Amino acid sequence: MSSLVRLVTAATPLVRGQSVAARAANTVLARYCSGATTQTATQPQSSEEMKLSDAAVVRLKEISDENTLLRITVEGGGCSGFQYKFDLEEGVKPSEEDRILTRDGAQVIIDETSLEYLKGSTLDYHKELIRAAFRIVNNPQADTGCSCGASFSIKLDL
């Protein structure tokens, strides 16, 4: 087993906020696997960052304001190793590692570590007869996912 596979296997159960060492390992893993650099909140949304779909923008404008943002995080867990988490946060004060993505007045906040797992993907809002929810689609960092779309495994370029 390669050292990268061992690192991924060891890092998979790590969750955001566990410890400084765990967060550092998760950040190193994300940067090593994606090869991407971080973006600052003041830069415009680029094709390497996460995109916001039209449906997501409309829904975000309905449920949030300038003091309430949708926070997206990637945590260890779920059926496939990593899972998406969506939370509405009021009175958000972004930290140094937070990035704010904006489109047509809709804003999403995401930490740098999670952004590494989501670069190039799209936040969408999907309505069905039995549910309506935000979801991540077209994630180029994901290798496989569960049938509900809430978790994924990362691609490894070995």
- Domain at 103, CATH number: 2.60.300.12
Query: What pLDDT score does 132 carry?
Result: 94
Residue 41 CB-density burial (10 A; 0-12 exposed, 13-18 middle, 19+ buried): middle
Task: Please enumerate in sequence order all residues whose Cβ is within 8 A of that of 139, keeping only pairs 6 or more positions apart, or say none.
Answer: 117, 118, 120, 121, 152
High-pLDDT (> 90) share of the chain, %: 46
If one compares 146 and 46, the residue with the highest pLDDT of the two is 146
Q: Do the beta carbons of residue 111 and residue 73 sit within 8 Å?
A: yes
State the maximum Cα–Cα separation within the chain, in Å, rounded to a whole number: 49
Q: Do the beta carbons of residue 109 and residue 99 sit within 8 Å?
A: yes
Q: Do the beta carbons of residue 26 and residue 95 sit within 8 Å?
A: no
Of the pLDDT bands very low, low, confident and very high (cuts 50, 70, 90), residue 88 is very high
Q: Do the beta carbons of residue 124 and residue 56 sit within 8 Å?
A: yes
Question: What is the Cα–Cα distance from 98 to 154, expressed in whole angstroms?
Answer: 22
Across 67-89, average pLDDT: 90
pLDDT at 73 over 80: yes
Of the pLDDT bands very low, low, confident and very high (cuts 50, 70, 90), residue 7 is very low
What is the spatial order of strands in the sheet that 98-103 belongs to? 98-103, 106-111, 68-76, 82-90, 151-154, 142-145
Query: What pLDDT score does 8 carry?
Result: 38
What is the span of the domain harbouring residue 127? 3-154
Q: Please tell me the pTM assigned to this model.
A: 0.67
Looking at the structure of the chain, the number of domains it has is 1
pLDDT single digits (tens) 92-115: 889 999 999 999 999 999 999 999
How many residues make up the chain in this entry? 158
Question: What is the Cα–Cα distance from 16 to 77, expressed in whole angstroms?
Answer: 11
pLDDT at 41 over 80: no
For the chain, the average pLDDT equals 74
